[in-house]
């Protein structure tokens, strides 16, 4: 849940008179309650109503009209000052690991990863697995994922740092588990913490087949738009400029929200995405033409072999 009173106490301690509040899409409904708690403490608020999917997209415009930005839901990915990060946490009952342990015991070591909602519990979950006979390892995080075992759709450093024979991702959906599998090239399992405890071994093959189709389509493209995000935590200018230099008819496009309409209006035959890596992998069906990752663009240009396919990560 949102720790309303702790946030109010911290803002009072810092002498904040006006706070900018930013919530990701799934948590925006908590805004009225936080505003009301802060008002009782004499703190006024301005809410960022724009879409937000991560700490890569801090609402610095709302913050410019306030003493501080309170970003709910995530840990930091950039060094922006005057921002308080309040991760959103949901506890897991460790008993959900019991069935999984029977399968995972056969591996010499198993990395444990999860998302920010549960990464406060990684050591507790790993300890439970160890008590069930699994050699569970929690890898160190990275600048974008400061908590051990934490992963993001743009960074799987903790799974790679653990360097285990297999991986267990605990969380809902399989997107992150497939990311762990691609990043480590090791057997990877997903466990829904709110399900019945059944493990799902994930395969990146269906995704790779779809990406292969897009790469083949892009080989016919005569022009490439290289998308450079204007969001502070997604901006990879050097990479975008390097990619643009690889093709005679490529141009860098500075863009904030990447939508089907924007790509259609811009009129390039294909695009290369240096913004959030999830866009190309998760959202391709929304777009009118191939949206390639940097490594996929190199494959299209013959500069990289398909066998050397790599998932795009922001480091
Ligand atoms: Fe999440 Fe994408 Fe931002 Fe990474 S770049 S934090 S995956 S929204």
Q: What pTM was computed for the model?
A: 0.94
Residue from 55, 75, 152, 279 to probe ligand 1 pocket by mutation (most atoms less than 8 Å from CB): 152
Q: Which residues line ligand 1 (CB under 6 A)?
A: 53-54, 56, 77, 152-154, 233-234, 276, 278, 314
DSSP per-residue letters across 47-115:
E--S---SGGG--HHHHTTSSEEEEEE---SS--SSEEEEE------GGGGHHHHHHHTTSS-EEEEE-
CA 299 / ligand 1 centre spacing (Å): 24
The model's confidence at residue 9, banded by pLDDT at 50, 70 and 90, is: very high
Question: Residue 226: its pLDDT value, please?
Answer: 98
Question: Residue 1: its pLDDT value, please?
Answer: 83
CA 268 / ligand 1 centre spacing (Å): 25
Residues 25-49 have a mean pLDDT of 97
- Report which protein residue has its CA nearest ligand 1's atom 4: 154
Distances (CA, A) of 185 to 62, 153, 159, 165, 210: 41, 16, 11, 10, 18
CA 234 / ligand 1 centre spacing (Å): 7
CA 114 / ligand 1 centre spacing (Å): 15
- Asked if 44 and 18 touch (Cβ cutoff 8 Å), the reply is yes
Question: Which residues lie closer than 8 Å to 249 by C-beta, 6 or more apart?
Answer: 222, 223, 224
Model confidence at 305: pLDDT above 90: yes
- Report which protein residue has its CA nearest ligand 1's atom 1: 54
CA 233 / ligand 1 centre spacing (Å): 8
- Report which protein residue has its CA nearest ligand 1's atom 7: 153
Q: What 3-state DSSP class applies to 184?
A: helix
Estimate to the nearest angstrom the gap between the alpha carbon of 170 and the chain centroid: 15
What average pLDDT is seen over the chain? 96
Cα gap 290→273, rounded to integer Å: 10
- Asked if 240 and 246 touch (Cβ cutoff 8 Å), the reply is no
Cα gap 123→300, rounded to integer Å: 42
Question: Residue 55: its pLDDT value, please?
Answer: 96
Model confidence at 263: pLDDT above 90: yes
């Amino acid at each position: 849940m949102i720790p309303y009173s702790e946030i109010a106490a911290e803002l009072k301690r810092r002498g904040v008179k006006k706070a900018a509040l930013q919530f990701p899409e799934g948590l925006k409904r908590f805004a009225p309650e936080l505003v009301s708690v802060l008002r009782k403490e004499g703190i006024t608020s301005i809410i960022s109503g724009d879409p937000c999917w991560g700490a890569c997209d801090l609402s610095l415009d709302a913050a410019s009209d306030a003493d501080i930005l309170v970003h709910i839901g995530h840990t930091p990915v950039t060094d922006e000052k005057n921002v308080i990060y309040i991760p959103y946490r949901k506890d897991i009952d460790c008993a959900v690991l019991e069935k999984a342990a029977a399968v995972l015991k056969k591996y010499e070591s198993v990395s444990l990863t999860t998302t920010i909602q549960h990464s406060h519990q990684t050591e507790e979950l790993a300890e439970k697995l160890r008590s069930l006979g699994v050699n569970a390892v929690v890898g160190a995080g990275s600048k974008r994922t400061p908590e051990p075992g934490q992963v993001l759709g743009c960074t799987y450093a903790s799974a790679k740092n653990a360097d285990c024979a297999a991986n267990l991702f605990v969380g809902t959906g399989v997107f992150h588990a497939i990311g762990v599998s691609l990043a480590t090239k090791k057997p990877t399992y997903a466990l829904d913490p709110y399900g019945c405890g059944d493990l799902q071994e994930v395969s990146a093959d269906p995704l790779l087949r779809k990406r292969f189709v897009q790469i083949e389509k892009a080989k016919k493209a005569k022009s490439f738009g290289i998308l450079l995000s204007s969001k502070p935590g997604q901006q990879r200018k050097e990479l975008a400029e390097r990619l643009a230099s690889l093709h005679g008819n490529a141009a860098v496009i500075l863009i904030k929200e990447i939508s089907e309409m924007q790509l259609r209006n811009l009129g390039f035959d294909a695009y290369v995405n240096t913004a959030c890596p999830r866009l190309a992998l998760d959202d391709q069906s929304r777009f009118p033409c191939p949206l390639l990752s940097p490594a996929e663009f190199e494959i299209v240009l013959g500069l990289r072999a398909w066998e050397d396919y790599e998932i795009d990560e922001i480091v």
